[in-house]
Amino acid sequence: MAVLPLRGKVVNAGKATLKQVIENAEAQALITAIGAGSGKDFDIANARYGRIIILCDADVDGSHIRCLLLTLIYHQMRPLLEHGYVYAAQPPLFATKHRGQPVYAYDDAQRAALSAEMGIGLDKWKRFKGLGEMNVDELAETTLNRETRMLKRMTMADAQGATRAAELFSVLMGNDVATR
């Protein structure tokens, strides 16, 4: 097991040239860490890990980063998706305590349902703005512990959707006002 923190923006591999992908520090770090090459030279037999788990914030920015990573994997390391190696960790968006025990909700609907079930108000919940707001125990319990974490296997369809979403994010968040 290894953790690879990415500190900068991952290039949109759906729009970038191969040269831009190779020169992007975060893309290069991921390709190097997996150890199986990239593009037509990718060989899944050389992959260092049997699971690649993408862990991003549970908000829109985290979704954008996940889209960019899936797009990179789809374009440069596609066999990882084809063979079911890629997963997305599902961190909670909300937390509260009920009878001294932590309770987590992954979206607004689940928070509302759990609030009604436990008889507590919606104002009792803490909303995580990102993984950095979680304490070590919360992060370990909700995203790292094999017994309690939630993982979603990413498929080719997810990656294709991520590629479309990454393109949309680029248009909406890009510098070209006319395109927006």
**How far apart, in whole angstroms, are the C-alpha atoms of residue 69 and residue 76?**
10
**How far apart, in whole angstroms, are the C-alpha atoms of residue 121 and residue 26?**
42
Residues 70-79 have pLDDT tens digits of 889 988 999 9
For 6, 69, 75, 124, the CA distances from 11, given in Å and listed in that order, are 12, 9, 12, 39
Pairing of strands 101-105, 151-153: unpaired
- What does the pLDDT average to over 24-35? 93
Mean pLDDT for all residues in the chain: 87
Give the pLDDT confidence score for residue 177 in this predicted structure: 54
What is this structure's pTM? Answer: 0.79
With cut-offs at 50, 70 and 90, classify the pLDDT of residue 160: confident
- What does the pLDDT average to over 101-126? 95
